[in-house]
Copies of this chain bind each other. A is one copy, B any other.
Amino acid sequence: MFFASDNTSGIPAPVLAALTQASEGYALGYGADTLMDSVRAKIRRIFEAPEAAVYLVATGTAANSLAIATYVQPWSQIYCHRHAHIEEDECNAPEFFAGGAKLTLLEGADAKIDAEAFAQVLAAMHSGVHHPQPGLLSLTNLTERGARYTVAEIARLAGMAKAKGLAVHLDGARFTNALVAEGCTPAEMTWKAGVDVVSFGGTKNGLMGVEAVIFFDPAKAWEFELRRKRGGHLFSKHRYLSAQMDAYLTDDLWLDLAGKANAAAERLQAGLIAAGVRLVHPRGGNILFAEFPLAAHQALRAAGAVYYDWPAPPPDGAGPAHPQQCRLVTSWSTSAAQIDQFLSLLKAAL
Interface residues in chain A, defined as those with a beta carbon under 8 Å from any beta carbon in chain B? 2, 4-5, 7-11, 16, 19-20, 23-30, 57-63, 65-66, 73-76, 88-93, 95-103, 105, 123-133, 203-204, 208-209, 225-227, 229-237, 240, 306, 311-312, 314-315, 318-319
- Residues of chain B contacted by A59 (CB below 8 angstroms): 232-236
Q: Which residue of B lies closest to A15 (CB)?
A: B23
Some 17 contacts from A to B, beta carbons below 8 A apart, are: A8-B29, A9-B26, A10-B23, A10-B24, A73-B226, A75-B230, A76-B92, A88-B130, A90-B130, A91-B226, A92-B230, A93-B231, A96-B231, A126-B312, A129-B225, A209-B237, A232-B233
When the two chains form their complex, are residues B131 and A230 in contact, meaning their CB atoms are under 8 A apart?
no
Q: Indicate whether A124 sits within 8 Å of B229 (C-beta atoms), given known contacts A20-B16, A59-B236, A131-B91.
A: no
Give, as a whole number of angstroms, the nearest-CB distance from A26 to chain B: 4
Number of this chain's copies in the complex = 4
- Secondary structure at the A interface, as helix, strand, loop or mixed, is loop
- Residues of chain B contacted by A11 (CB below 8 angstroms): 19, 23, 240
A60 to B91, CA, bound (A): 22
When the two chains form their complex, are residues B129 and A229 in contact, meaning their CB atoms are under 8 A apart?
yes
When the two chains form their complex, are residues A103 and B102 in contact, meaning their CB atoms are under 8 A apart?
yes
